[in-house]
């Protein structure tokens, strides 16, 4: 895959209250206890949590902080995983499954605590997230999800049709109901990433942008990390490259399928519209197989993401399905001024869960957040820091799994195109937006 050299001209780039960090490309020779590769939430949170514990850590980012999904996402801070607590218990046994649910359930609080602790200016609001069910079957699933989290003491509630229409500020979506998770909220994601970089640097981490790692070699019990400018020698390596993973670690790229998600943002809406659209400030995703997700930003722009073509490109017509969804859901906006559009890679795994691997001694990787990484990747960074400091797999509360490439990965584009066409058809049959 070809790599661009800077972030797209997104809303987040234009409106970040946190300035971009000022760093230099890595040059020459240096040593570190831990080298972190990737300047998104995973890598930044790892670097922060290691530096806070006095570890000498150097983070290398190929392009710039937040260049990957972390600077491009919808900014929805959603706790939990794609699997429900009882599904986790079925898959991993009652003890580990329950610990995973506990960890995942606390990820949004983890983000909002980090924001407060480091005074990160990222428009953070813990105003809740809703999942809107577009079919009766999806409604049952969302209510079951709410039941399972409520049983664990989470501040959640099931919603009926009128209930969700009230919180969405529309009944044009035909949603049957859903659930609301009040642990969740939103951030300006690029500002959050930049704030994490600032906090990590203040704690003693060294960050180099424009420093793609091109080779990893292990010799005499230590690692040599090579960039075009020099070599970094480190005892341990942590990789957080998610949907932007390249061929650095054999087989790693083949463990995830990078799919693209497309976002558009309107102009700031007038006061009357802002009083009626998402009147209580919730974020939303719907239950479609190719889901739509939306929220208002701090200036009252409607920001919505959804499906689009698979290939790495950005053409205006690619954003039409998302624009159409806005027109249908909120016709009172009329034809908005479309101020921004951009897209990014979401790393999807076959089991719907993020993965933590240790493919070689002293080398750890976490990736595959399936479009739910704002909260989970932040929490994963702390897990990776604990792991680098010697925590056993049994202490982490999250499985360290074998790196297992997806069979037939080389044919992913045509296979994915077929899956997406089928899902689009199913969504259309259930009621198009
Ligand atoms: C459009 C979009 C919308 C999304 N919306 C949401 C949402 O609302 N809520 C949510 O929870 N999740 C959302 N996600 C998912 C979320 O953004 C990701 O899960 C999360 O940001 C992953 O963070 P990360 O640090 O693991 O990876 P990334 O942020 O992708 O960072 C990986 C970094 O690694 C760098 N890199 C790659 N190779 C190398 C190398 N060889 N050397 C050095 N650096 C390298 C890349 O340049 C990149 O900066 C969305 C994703 C997208 C694309």
Note the pLDDT tens digit of each residue in 370-403. 999 999 999 999 999 999 999 988 899 999 998 9
The predicted pLDDT at position 311 comes to: 73
Q: Is residue 384 part of a domain?
A: yes
CA distances from residue 399 to 40, 362, 395, 403, 407 in whole angstroms, order as listed: 22, 17, 10, 12, 21
The predicted pLDDT at position 411 comes to: 67
Mutate to test the pocket of ligand 1, among 3, 13, 20, 69 (most ligand atoms within 8 A of CB): 69
Q: Ligand 1 center to residue 172 CA distance, Å? A: 32
48-98, pLDDT tens digit by residue? 999 999 999 999 999 999 999 999 999 999 999 989 999 999 999 999 999
The predicted pLDDT at position 11 comes to: 96
CATH number of the CATH domain containing 55: 3.50.50.60
Q: Is residue 301 part of a domain?
A: no
Which atom, in ligand 1's list, is nearest to the CA of 366? 26
Q: Is residue 268 part of a domain?
A: no
Whole-angstrom distance, CA of residue 352 vs CA of residue 347: 10
Q: Is residue 132 part of a domain?
A: no
As a whole number, mean pLDDT of residues 196-209 equals: 98
Q: Ligand 1 center to residue 68 CA distance, Å? A: 4
Q: In this model, does residue 368 exceed pLDDT 80?
A: yes
Q: Give the range among 141-145, 259-263, 400-404, 409-413 with minimum mean pLDDT.
A: 409-413
As a whole number, mean pLDDT of residues 236-253 equals: 96
**Bigger pLDDT: 413 or 127?**
127
Q: For the chain, how many residues are written?
A: 433
153-168, pLDDT tens digit by residue? 999 999 999 999 999 9
Beta bridge partners of 233: 31, 224
Q: Is residue 416 part of a domain?
A: no
Whole-angstrom distance, CA of residue 238 vs CA of residue 367: 11
Q: Ligand 1 center to residue 57 CA distance, Å? A: 20
Dihedral sign computed on CA atoms, order 47, 48, 49, 50: positive
The predicted pLDDT at position 5 comes to: 59
Dihedral sign computed on CA atoms, order 195, 63, 245, 213: negative
Beta bridge partners of 356: 366, 400
Using CB distances shorter than 6 Å, the residues near ligand 1 are: 37-43, 60-63, 67-70, 72-76, 78, 212-213, 240-244, 246, 248, 261, 263, 293, 305, 343-346, 367, 369, 371-375, 377
Q: In this model, does residue 265 exceed pLDDT 50?
A: yes
- Radius of gyration from C-alpha coordinates of the chain: 21
Confidence of residue 314 (pLDDT cuts 50, 70, 90): confident
* Protein residue with least CA distance to atom 13, ligand 1: 371
What is the greatest pairwise CA distance in the chain? 66
* pLDDT over 90 percentage in the chain: 84
**Bigger pLDDT: 33 or 410?**
33
Whole-angstrom distance, CA of residue 307 vs CA of residue 323: 11
Q: Ligand 1 center to residue 158 CA distance, Å? A: 31
Q: Is residue 178 part of a domain?
A: no
Q: Ligand 1 center to residue 221 CA distance, Å? A: 30
Mutate to test the pocket of ligand 1, among 21, 70, 197 (most ligand atoms within 8 A of CB): 70
As a whole number, mean pLDDT of residues 143-152 equals: 98
**Would you say 232 and 28 are in contact if contact means Cβ atoms under 8 Å apart?**
no
- DSSP character for 411? G
Q: Is residue 287 part of a domain?
A: no
Across all residues in the chain, what is the average pLDDT? 93
Q: Which domain holds residue 366?
A: 11-73+190-256+351-410
As a whole number, mean pLDDT of residues 39-52 equals: 98
Q: In this model, does residue 3 exceed pLDDT 70?
A: no
Q: Where are the alpha helices (DSSP H) in 15-158?
A: 41-51, 85-92, 94-105, 107-117, 136-151
Confidence of residue 1 (pLDDT cuts 50, 70, 90): very low
Q: Among 18, 22, 63, 58, which Cα is nearest to 40's?
A: 63
Q: Is residue 86 part of a domain?
A: no
Whole-angstrom distance, CA of residue 294 vs CA of residue 75: 10
Q: Ligand 1 center to residue 245 CA distance, Å? A: 10
Whole-angstrom distance, CA of residue 139 vs CA of residue 257: 28
**Would you say 186 and 198 are in contact if contact means Cβ atoms under 8 Å apart?**
no
Which atom, in ligand 1's list, is nearest to the CA of 373? 19
The predicted pLDDT at position 2 comes to: 45
Please tell me the total count of domains within the chain. Answer: 1
As a whole number, mean pLDDT of residues 296-316 equals: 88
């Amino acid at each position: 895959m070809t790599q661009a050299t800077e972030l797209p001209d997104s809303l987040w780039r234009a409106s970040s209250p946190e300035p971009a960090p000022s760093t230099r490309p890595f040059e020459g020779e240096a040593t570190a206890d831990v080298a972190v590769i990737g300047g998104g939430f995973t890598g930044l949170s790892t670097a922060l949590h290691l530096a806070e514990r006095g570890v000498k850590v150097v983070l290398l980012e190929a392009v710039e902080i937040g260049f990957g999904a972390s600077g491009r996402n919808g900014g929805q801070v959603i706790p939990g995983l794609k699997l429900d607590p009882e599904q986790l218990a079925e898959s991993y046994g009652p003890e580990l499954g329950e610990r995973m649910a506990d960890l995942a359930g606390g990820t949004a609080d983890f983000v909002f605590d980090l924001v407060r602790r480091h005074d990160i200016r990222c428009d953070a609001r813990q105003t809740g997230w809703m999942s809107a069910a577009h079919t009766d079957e999806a409604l049952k699933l969302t209510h079951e999800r709410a039941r399972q989290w409520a049983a664990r003491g989470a501040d959640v509630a099931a919603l009926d049709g009128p209930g969700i229409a009230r919180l969405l500020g529309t009944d044009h979506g035909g949603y049957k109901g859903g659930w609301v998770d009040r642990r969740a909220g939103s951030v300006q994601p690029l500002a959050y990433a930049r704030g994490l970089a600032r906090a990590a640097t203040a704690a003693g981490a060294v960050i180099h942008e424009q420093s793609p790692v091109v080779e990893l070699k292990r010799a005499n019990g230590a690692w040599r990390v090579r960039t075009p400018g020099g070599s970094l020698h480190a005892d341990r390596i942590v990789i957080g490259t998610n949907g932007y993973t390249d061929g650095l670690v054999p087989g790693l790229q083949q463990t995830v399928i990078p799919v693209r998600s497309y976002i558009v943002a309107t102009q700031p809406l007038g006061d009357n519209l802002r009083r009626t659209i998402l009147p209580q400030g919730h974020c939303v995703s719907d239950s479609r197989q190719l889901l739509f997700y939306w929220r208002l930003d701090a200036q009252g722009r409607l920001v919505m993401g959804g499906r689009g073509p698979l290939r790495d490109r950005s053409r205006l017509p690619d954003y039409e399905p998302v624009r159409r969804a806005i027109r249908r859901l909120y016709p009172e906006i009329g034809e908005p001024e479309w101020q921004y559009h951009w897209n990014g890679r979401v790393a999807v795994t076959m089991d719907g869960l993020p993965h933590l691997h240790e493919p070689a001694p002293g080398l750890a990787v976490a990736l595959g957040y399936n479009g739910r990484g704002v909260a989970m990747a932040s929490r994963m960074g702390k897990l990776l820091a604990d792991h680098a400091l010697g925590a056993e797999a049994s202490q982490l509360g999250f499985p360290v799994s074998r790196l297992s490439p997806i069979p037939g990965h080389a044919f992913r584009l045509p296979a994915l195109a077929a899956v997406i066409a089928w899902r689009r058809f199913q969504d259309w049959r259930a009621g198009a937006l």
